[in-house]
Amino acid sequence: MKGVEMPEINWDELKDLAIEAMKTAYAPYSGYPVGASALVDDGRLVSGCNVENASTGLGTCAENGLVSMLHRTGGGRLVAFYCVNGNGDVIVPCGRCRQLLYEHGGPNLLVTMPSGIMRMDEVLPQGFGPADLALVATSQITIDTPYALRESDAEKEKKDK
């Protein structure tokens, strides 16, 4: 990402988009609609909502829809994330979704939490990622580090200082 400026984060815009997404959630079983939005490193905004299913385990979280939209619209790295419930209140991503966000935003992803904005490596300390799969000598998996987990040029320069 040499020479590319990180987009400015408009938290109010992210909140509004998360609320808009929440209003389209399909939650007839739990009655708990969720909406999520995120800013991508190229300035795009992506969003998602939860979609339940009568077979409970087949439902998807809002974060799943958001990551699907991320890849459907060109991929990239999530840099800021916002998630709300049916009241528009900030909520904590579940453990599964924290893993998903870590893989697509990396440790520097900024996440709104009820207590304030936190980095992903604070929300998910010692997060498990694709690089961990390659650490096992018997693994049949060869992993090229996903874009979101690679250090940006700015991060490399900061580390070298």
pLDDT tens across 105-143, in order? 999 999 999 999 999 999 999 988 877 777 776 666 666
| Boundaries of every domain in the chain | 11-127
pTM here?
0.84
CA distances (Å), origin 80, targets 88, 102, 142, 151, 161: 17, 12, 29, 16, 25
Q: In this structure, are residues 11 and 80 in contact, taking their beta carbons and an 8 Å threshold? A: yes
What residues act catalytically?
Answer: 63
Q: How far apart are CA 73 and CA 52, in angstroms?
A: 24
pLDDT at 4 over 60: no
For the cut 70, the answer to whether the pLDDT of residue 157 exceeds it is no
C-alpha dihedral, 6 to 14 to 65 to 42, nearest 10°: -20
Distance of alpha carbon 99 from alpha carbon 14, whole angstroms: 21
If one looks up domain 11-127 in CATH, what number appears? 3.40.140.10
